[in-house]
Amino acid sequence: MVIDKAARDLRAHWGPALARSEEEWQPNSEIAAATLARILSTPDQPRPAPATPPRWTWVWRIAVGGVSATIAVIATLTMIPNPAPAHDVTPPPLTYHAPEQPVAAAPLLEQIADSTRSTAAGASPGGPDSLVEHLRIVSWNLNSQIDGRRITSAVVPTDTETWLRADNSGRSIRRQGTPIFADADDRRDWKDQRALSRGNTPVAETYPPGGYQRLWAGRPPTEVPQLEKWLREINKGTDESAQTLLAITDLFKERVLDPSERAAVLLVLARLPDLQYAGITTDRADRSGEAFFVTSDVSGLPTRYTLIIDRHTGILLAQEQMLLTDTGRLNVEAPAVVDFDTYVTADWVPDIP
């Protein structure tokens, strides 16, 4: 199947980027490396047959900016008669094991927040100046392009690792995997041919003091009302629940949070009126977590935004965005996972390698 081929290609392209010598890894990185091999190898699951496309179809494209809140769905200005369907290379949705009786999201998050405060995992309150925040995030998103009558789609994976000091100096390494296609025609028609030739070549950047621009200047407040306001300074919009959830995913992309900060974030989540509990799931790095979601059309299409949280430490393990309906406009089958981040590593280390 197409998904099987895409998964094989993803592993083939990512393998060289993830192969490091033992000396290059920080403590616990061997565990992270092992999980990465499983991130994009979720087994295929049966999918419904795609609906027959209408005679005239508006073609849409999801544009994902550097800040999650900038996700927008942009319509083309022309209609394409009977466009050739793009091949579906999206991974199957995760499996959620819901409890027999419905569980309210807020009380469960409050329990996790209590557990988080008492944990010693990652305990370095406030990120002392003597230590370095170390993050590694594997991201995946679906991109589509229009060329005449044909729509081509590609999976674009990235592996980003950062080391940042309190003064915003540090280093980052970004590996963008070669775009993965369902067939040779999509590869041939892809406009960004530079990405095809670049392969897994890492892009490294070094930041002097003050050189790394964080979305938020300081550390997050630990008082819930102040944290709510602080998060919404960046991701503003009409749908406060979705914007707050997206802001939280951005925060975990740029900070290693201590237990008190993580607990405050969980309590902010607990206050979202339309947040729901999906159950226990295993993320694409084979880690078990509690899944919470909101459903919103803030992007222009009905989308489920899901956070997967470690029950004992309150650490964000992963986030996923899944289109629920109207997927014919993107020529993917419902349900369609169009974006995910797997937060592989979040710890403090003594120095920048």
Residue in 101, 29, 158, 95 with CA at minimum distance from that of residue 337: 95
pLDDT in tens, 191-235: 666 656 566 678 999 999 999 999 998 999 999 999 999 999 887
Place of tokens 């992007």: 299
**In the block, residue with structure tokens 């807020």:** 106
pTM to 2 decimal places? 0.73
Least confident segment among 25-34, 103-112, 180-189, 232-241: 25-34
In eight-state DSSP terms, residue 22 is G
Range of weakest confidence among 81-85, 140-144, 234-238, 295-299: 81-85
- The C-alpha angle with vertex 261 and arms to 278 and 127, in degrees rounded to 5, equals 135
Helix axes 240-254, 224-232, angle to 10 degrees: 90
pLDDT in tens, 268-324: 999 999 999 999 999 999 999 999 999 998 888 889 999 999 999 999 999 999 988
Q: How far is the C-alpha of 308 from the C-alpha of 31, rounded, in Å?
A: 19
**How many residues in the chain?**
353
Contacts 24+ apart (CB under 8 A), 33-39: 35/285, 35/286, 35/287, 35/344, 36/138, 36/159, 36/285, 36/344, 37/11, 38/284, 38/285, 38/286, 39/138, 39/284, 39/285, 39/342, 39/344
User: What value, to the nearest 5°, has the Cα angle with vertex 294 and ends 215 and 218?
Assistant: 20
The answer to whether 277 and 289 are in contact (CB under 8 A) is no
